[in-house]
Amino acid sequence: MKTFYITTAIDYVNGSPHLGHAYEKVLTDVIARFRRLMGDRVHFLTGVDEHGQKVQQTARKRGIPPQQFCDEISEEFRAVCRKLDISNDDFIRTTEERHKKVVRQLLQQLFDKGEIYKAEYKGFYSTRQEQFLQEKDRNPDGSWPELFGEVTEITESNYFFKLRSYQDWLVEFLKKNENFVFPRYRQKQVLEFLAEPLNDLCISRPKDRLEWGIELPFDSGFVTYVWFDALVNYYSAVIDKPGVWPADFHVIGKDILVPPHAVYWPIMLKAAGLEPPGTLLAHGWWSINGAKMSKSTGNFVDPVAFADQYGVDALRYFLIREMSVGQDSDFSLQQFLSRYNSELANNLGNLVNRALNMTNRFAAGLVPAAETAEEPELALRALWEKTRDEVIALNEGFQFHIALERTFAFITATNAYIEARAPWKLGKSADAKDQALLKTTLATIAEALRLGVSLLPAVMPGTTKKIHDVLGYAAGPVWRDELVWGDRLTGRKVAATAILFPRPEAAKTS
């Protein structure tokens, strides 16, 4: 069986991790966990992109060597993974020798094949920003924006990768592989981009301009320029792992789909004789309170601090419930708290408390066996089967937000079932029929809760385990088997109480 290989983009270390990075990791984690539940062997890679001008500049400003700077910031990204319960199997840094070695090999191979050539590049250069500018960077009146400082036309020798000679191949490839990009409409954007002739890709920077990079194996006066270095991480991380390449999924933001992932990467692989990835999944962008996130203006959410304050699973739930994969979304504390209170605390949290309270009150804390099944029980069971099948199909189609909505509709229906059966009334009756119905009700509540929660481990792994724990239950190894209505909880001793979603500080005062 081929390993299901999934990756996130590797994050630039020139700034601290923010909510956008956190979302991408959580989304990828949800897919990885879901695939594991479905029985796949999964390899999940994330990591950091450490070379380039910005890192060199930021380290210089702080007066520390770039490697030390990278070590510090990379640790922050690792901490986000740990905090957010990300189940990555590997974490790659582009300054690691295992990566640099593969980049050098690939460059040499392509150079030897004649896919890389040296040429003169003439263009407008901003010394202040240390970058070449393009026509689109000009002001409408033709002048250069203030931020570039003095702009001069210079000629520089560089190495170029022959992108253009693969343009027709890529167009054909995309036509044959209609699902190469998800969501599908984004594949059209790639084809639109390819409607114009491609320029060959400049893949080097002279060392006197940029030192912080991987030296070209065939010319020590140059380092590799960003994308050629960064994209290779997906391959360098698994080169020694048989049965992993090609990647099944590269999860990335929409901003880095075209051209890097949808054009440069498949062409680089093709030129090197390697198989292309299965699918590029391009997610949308988060804004915060309706505006672009920015640390300098304070419109910023630190994912670790947020998870500390409100709970890891609450944050994971919100990110996946709020955003439809592929579309943009807005993050606000108000919207977060609204979902937290109504969906997590008042719906799921309430169901857990009721299940525990009533089992303790009416059955000495031991889940009884169901004695009958009447219309309300049969209806809840039918809803369960429908929900389960829909949720699996929705997850397979990356419609995680709707899958969560359906799962929570089942939780709501279970709460409504309790209202309808009113076990507190049945508990007062000495009638044998009422007593039988009480047992059935308690068994049904517990089983519905176990099942509902069994649909949540990919999104809320910690919460799922906690709820199964308080039901005295440990899920078995085959997920599909777990999703069958039955009597697995009969005789289990439930906990006295559970605190799952405490009322957040901010909500208390509002």
Which residues are at the interface with ligand MSP (CB under 6 A)?
9-12, 20-21, 23-24, 49, 230-231, 233, 252-253, 255-256, 285-286, 293
Toward ligand MSP, which CB reaches closer, 237 or 394?
237
Toward ligand MSP, which CB reaches closer, 210 or 467?
210
Q: Compute the least distance from the CB of residue 328 to ligand MSP, in Å.
A: 8
Toward ligand MSP, which CB reaches closer, 268 or 448?
268
Q: Compute the least distance from the CB of residue 303 to ligand MSP, in Å.
A: 12
Q: Compute the least distance from the CB of residue 179 to ligand MSP, in Å.
A: 20
221 Cβ contact list (under 8 Å, min separation 6) = 206, 207
Toward ligand MSP, which CB reaches closer, 252 or 356?
252
CA of 427: how far to CAs of 34, 210, 487, in Å?
A: 40, 77, 22
Toward ligand MSP, which CB reaches closer, 69 or 417?
69
Burial class (CB in 10 A: 0-12, 13-18, 19+), 152: exposed
Q: Compute the least distance from the CB of residue 251 to ligand MSP, in Å.
A: 8
Rounded CA-CA distance 505/510 in Å is 9
Toward ligand MSP, which CB reaches closer, 151 or 293?
293
Q: Compute the least distance from the CB of residue 142 to ligand MSP, in Å.
A: 30
In this structure, what is the dihedral angle of CA atoms 376, 381, 383, 385, given to the nearest 10 degrees? Answer: -170
Cis geometry, peptide bond prior to residue 66 (ω within 30 degrees of 0): no
| Cα 452 from chain centre | 23
**Is the distance from CB of 269 to CB of 276 less than 8 angstroms?**
yes
Q: Compute the least distance from the CB of residue 172 to ligand MSP, in Å.
A: 24
Rounded CA-CA distance 507/510 in Å is 5
Which tokens is 399 given?
Answer: 């419609």
Rounded CA-CA distance 272/261 in Å is 16
Q: Compute the least distance from the CB of residue 175 to ligand MSP, in Å.
A: 25
Please give the residue whose beta carbon sits closest to ligand MSP in the complex. Answer: 253
Q: How many CB atoms lie within 10 A of CB 179?
A: 10
Strands 181-182 and 279-283: parallel
Which tokens is 378 given?
Answer: 């049969």
- Per the DSSP assignment, residues forming a β-bridge with 287 are 330
CA of 96: how far to CAs of 91, 92, 237, in Å?
A: 11, 8, 10
Q: Compute the least distance from the CB of residue 264 to ligand MSP, in Å.
A: 10
Toward ligand MSP, which CB reaches closer, 284 or 452?
284
Toward ligand MSP, which CB reaches closer, 201 or 451?
201
